[in-house]
Structure 1
């Protein structure tokens, strides 16, 4: 089976969907009887790019400012997609919201419905394009993959599609997310002025849906001595409407107890996750919540909200709080700092829960979905 996978997103710094495409593509290489071709937006390749194409990040502001930019880019990509298919393709897999036109079987991955629940987290031009294209993409796809049962259920309800069109393929954690001994981390963490187990970590793009303001407020309520001993680190790119965080973030940064790290290379992020006392993930909506799984696989306890798909991922290993409960989050953070017995129990529960997920399993389910779409 010859499969075309749209891998254009790999030109950008790899956040959630980019990690999905990269890890899934690597895992699919081990599936027998499957030949994968990657479309990079302007051409084709059989290999994953090692890093983001320089200058890609300058494209998004341009897309927001220029009228019709999304439509123009799509027209160009469609032409490249059609012209560059030198070999025949049996099936096309679109890992994001709007498939290109293809005259054969299409599989689409729907990661979440963020644009419905939090439309203000999308630039207006992008939101308009999602609303214009998503329905047609859902109709085009013979099989719709989702990362969680939660997303499959809400998509079935919203679009009125039959259950057998959906296949749930949970994500996995990359091998770099694994438990590490303090001695393995000390040297690299020392460069950041950190010690293993001596900080709390948030991972996520700075945008309203991630609810990072709650983490900042809860951390500010910890005793002064604990804030000094366990600073709060935030790793992630600037997102849409980041400006709403400016006041609270500036106060937190000025206190010296919060550090904004920005986007980090894969290995650096994996080290920070493994070395954290806990991952604090108060998101209001996730189609999966990959940082939660990555933290558990690293032996790092997680504090998270009981929202959307996240309980499917964390299961009994999660320390759950309400999305608006700043005092509940403060208590959960405090307990993981002060109660070593509770911390160890959460660590072991997280490691056990993480074994239920893998990219190999995701690839096997995806390959079966391909065969289903082909009618086999």
Structure 2
């Protein structure tokens, strides 16, 4: 049996929870031996097969992960699969996922309690996992270097964009408002302060263009404050996927100036909607986006402003980046990524279970 640590269904959806949800969704379709274990109490099933969600124990949060979850898995002789960075530190056999080490590279983006919990859990979880998953070659190198492990222990399982993010229908009305779009939690490493400064420089010659910012901070992150006095910078908060897809489709371009990303799902979502992308030449973004984006120096406000002006003023550039972005987004698939996870699980089952036990595959 494979027991997925599905505590992510009790959390708000950010990039990590999106990855966990979509990989779990595909694994349920691929394998008959997978169940999702969750704490008792309210959850958001996110369209997952609720007949395979099992409520376990009486605790919550990290205590549930360290006590109730491993007890449940141990009684069933199961492999535990963690998809969201934390898990039972002493349980074996286990496969755990580590998306990046942003909390180490940019500690100013995170609260003290978050850093302390990760500092206790993550090194021990890495030590006690049979296999490790991560989302990019960049993150594999960062994790291996920091924790002193072989990169061969880490399997790359890329993110993807949901099928709900797609270009506008040919007969759909075109947006009449002119705006640039940014999507992220506004934490220090997301580089929003420089982006806003760059936009204000850009807007001196483009007063008819707005900057719309989607997202909000969670309790895990250190609070960042920005000057919201400019009426052309609109903070929209959280929106659902349908509204987000419409924003991508209507935007002149998507701006992603982040200093550090293990992968970065929002640029792929934008590309899959046909929206051209401006991205930081930093961390994993050149790996994920290849030649399909207009790259900038994320520390250079002038470069950010110039890129905004270039993409807004050049219809041909926007059309080319839209086409290249659509091609780039097709490189990634939740099903393909889940198949990689399934093969890792088969390897761990074969190494830890009796020889007579066969892998449980459906549709592979």
TM range (shorter): 0.7 to 0.9
Cα pair distance change 1:167/1:44, threshold 3 Å? farther
Cα pair distance change 1:284/1:101, threshold 3 Å? closer
Tell me how far apart the structure 1 counterparts of residues 3 and 64 of structure 2 sit (CA, whole Å): 17
Please state if 1:132 is matched with 2:129.
Answer: no
Q: TM-score, normalised by structure 2?
A: 0.86
Tell me how far apart the structure 2 counterparts of residues 274 and 155 of structure 1 sit (CA, whole Å): 35
Aligned residues: CA RMSD: 2.5
From 89, 97, 112, the equivalent of 2:100 is 112
Please state if 1:38 is matched with 2:31.
Answer: no
Please state if 1:212 is matched with 2:211.
Answer: no
Specify the alignment match of 1:99 in structure 2: 87
Shift of 1:314: 0.7
From 279, 284, 307, the equivalent of 1:332 is 307
Structure 1 alignment gaps of length 5 or more: 52-70, 187-194
Specify the alignment match of 2:45 in structure 1: 48
Specify the alignment match of 2:296 in structure 1: 321
Specify the alignment match of 1:155 in structure 2: 143
From 235, 246, 266, the equivalent of 2:214 is 235
Answer yes or no: is the 8 Å Cα contact 2:92–2:130 preserved in 1.
no
Structure 2 alignment gaps of length 5 or more: 49-58, 352-364
Equivalent pairs, count: 339
Tell me how far apart the structure 1 counterparts of residues 211 and 132 of structure 2 sit (CA, whole Å): 38
Pairwise mapping of residues 253-272 of structure 1 onto structure 2 (< 5 A)? Answer: 254-272=229-247
Specify the alignment match of 1:24 in structure 2: 23
From 331, 340, 346, the equivalent of 1:356 is 331
**Which is richer in helix?**
1
Shift of 1:119: 1.1
Cα pair distance change 1:76/1:371, threshold 3 Å? closer
Answer yes or no: is the 8 Å Cα contact 2:91–2:128 preserved in 1.
no
Pairwise mapping of residues 194-209 of structure 1 onto structure 2 (< 5 A)? Answer: 195=175, 198-209=178-189
- The superposition leaves residues 139-182 of structure 1 with CA deviations (integer Å, 9 ceiling, x where unpaired) of 11111101000011121111121232110011111001111147
Shift of 1:82: 4.5
Specify the alignment match of 1:179 in structure 2: 167
Q: TM-score, normalised by structure 1?
A: 0.83
Partner SS for 2:162:
coil
Tell me how far apart the structure 2 counterparts of residues 220 and 327 of structure 1 sit (CA, whole Å): 10
Shift of 1:8: 1.3
Tell me how far apart the structure 1 counterparts of residues 247 and 232 of structure 2 sit (CA, whole Å): 17
Answer yes or no: is the 8 Å Cα contact 1:215–1:329 preserved in 2.
yes
Partner SS for 2:34:
strand
Shift of 1:371: 1.5
Answer yes or no: is the 8 Å Cα contact 2:65–2:87 preserved in 1.
no
Tell me how far apart the structure 2 counterparts of residues 208 and 103 of structure 1 sit (CA, whole Å): 34
Answer yes or no: is the 8 Å Cα contact 1:288–1:310 preserved in 2.
yes
Cα pair distance change 1:196/1:8, threshold 3 Å? farther
Partner SS for 1:167:
strand
Cα pair distance change 1:42/1:300, threshold 3 Å? same
Partner SS for 2:35:
strand
